[in-house]
Structure 1
């Protein structure tokens, strides 16, 4: 392991002190706690783009998280980083997503606009620090400082001169700022290299796998990708090497090669950026990420995103489902806030003595934790006059 890697034996520890495991490192325990969490299990029926009933082979948040973790481990291993920490952050990064992907998040953010807003990254942090209730000694998962830092900052600093314009455009979420007042996660600096690996692995996974899902759904064709950088040349090369190859194999072979090219680019560019860095503290203090694409690959990545935005995320079939999903989430929120007696008994009990903003946050926690399937079933039970109670 390189000197700039996060060393589990030098971890800053956990907010609630625990006896160390005799068989697992602190970062391995973080990973295992995430895998065994209720929120991780629910990702099975939370979708990326397509709602769960639209097909068995489209990505869910669970399969996506596993794919991100696999890519993150590969990159971390090649760079001499801590694979377990990279995997833990990768597995945790989507825990806070609502049902129905970004459509659900947009609807819940609109509902929560006057109550402090809603952001899936903050919701992930709420899950791992507050909402998981599995352990006798603490709420949340009591992850190490390094894992929590990775969850909060895997997309970069939240404040300060090195934060992105997107991060600076909104205040630090209250859950994170309150936690940092007790245990400073240094949100003005970049995260350690393993969290940066998890973030770029997310980009690699969802771009390539959304192409796969979009082709499977018939939202666009291989011919439509002909002029898209990276994708077009790779598809042309595979087609030339294997003339007459059946379509499904052509797609999978092309996707596999695109992922490989992007991973190799990250390893080469990051190796260059890590020259002269001797500690993880130096990684955090830099003005830019050390784990990154080359300029050429960054351009390719942007082109893929632009293509997917235009041809997939704004496709009329996706938009139709998006509108339905937003209506389901909005109506569930409004009903449960106005009529908390519709909540399960254990959630009703938590409402006692809360002001309106706190009640709204509790309702948001409840709805954000729903799977696509449960949200649709709950909506039907509550709004369909002919549904048997």
Structure 2
């Protein structure tokens, strides 16, 4: 196999990831803050583009701010590999960034081995994957899944619009609609990512190959009652917005039990109370509800049941209610032939693998609408992700990176 002549340089990969993580680090918490379209996010993507240019790749940035580095023929279809560089607030050092760095290291390893692809490989650092504005903007733009209506209404949890966030960096949001790739221009997309869960570590298996990715529904709920004095207002006369929120939260286990499944997830992750004061009954509760499952039918059932529960909680507590669906990403089945290729390469390298669903959204999920896509997982220590303690053992990373490298060589050389 030609892949035997190419091997990941682990120390070089470590240095590349360390370079990425010079951007947005909070020395007080150890977390990273490269929120989509923030100064740190834009700076790290420029730095990553410079690294690819220094390696001789043909670098370009599309109108959604995705950054590409092309290795191989200048014309014709390509194989895209990579992930994202943005983070959640106070995120970890590996989520997304590792996949982008591994993709570039694979190209470096191929170049060092004198392997020249007959099909071009494009390393990508996708834009705004972490969903600051409710979706996975970069890969959705590549796959042609962004609409003008979505661009115009997209805003983050603090009310900042996508239009203003992009415009602040001289980017024209209208250009996102022109970032879609032609259907035959991309032959495959491969992504390596940390698992972000405990399954692989618990099983003692170094590699996961995802067969599907859960869908994600993002609801925004506003319950409005009456702010009043906590000592003088009788319990039976209150319109307590937090009491309505508590009703919704306490109903979640029963919803999962009654109509959900093993892969169902419902999370209330962000809550704002107004006024947020010890001696005042909350007049307004605004909160997010994230619904996930690998079945779209189950997702729809969960969403409708939650809407019923929210309405009942509002009625019980004398509250006005508004529910807005901020985004909907359907669950996706990833390409079985690419998964089989990865499993075969892993067997040749004598690496144990586990076929599994992904409970978290990833760029591979949206790219599957454009081309065959595959997703490699490496274990997360303690299952921790989206937090400063996020970590993955380097021997596991090396196995995953060499697996991605072998697959790219098989597909492109």
Please classify the TM superposition score into its range, dividing by the shorter chain length: under 0.3
Identify the structure with the greater helix proportion. Answer: 1
TM-score by length of 2: 0.25
Q: Highest Rg: 1 or 2? A: 2
TM-score by length of 1: 0.26
Identify the structure with the greater strand proportion. Answer: 2
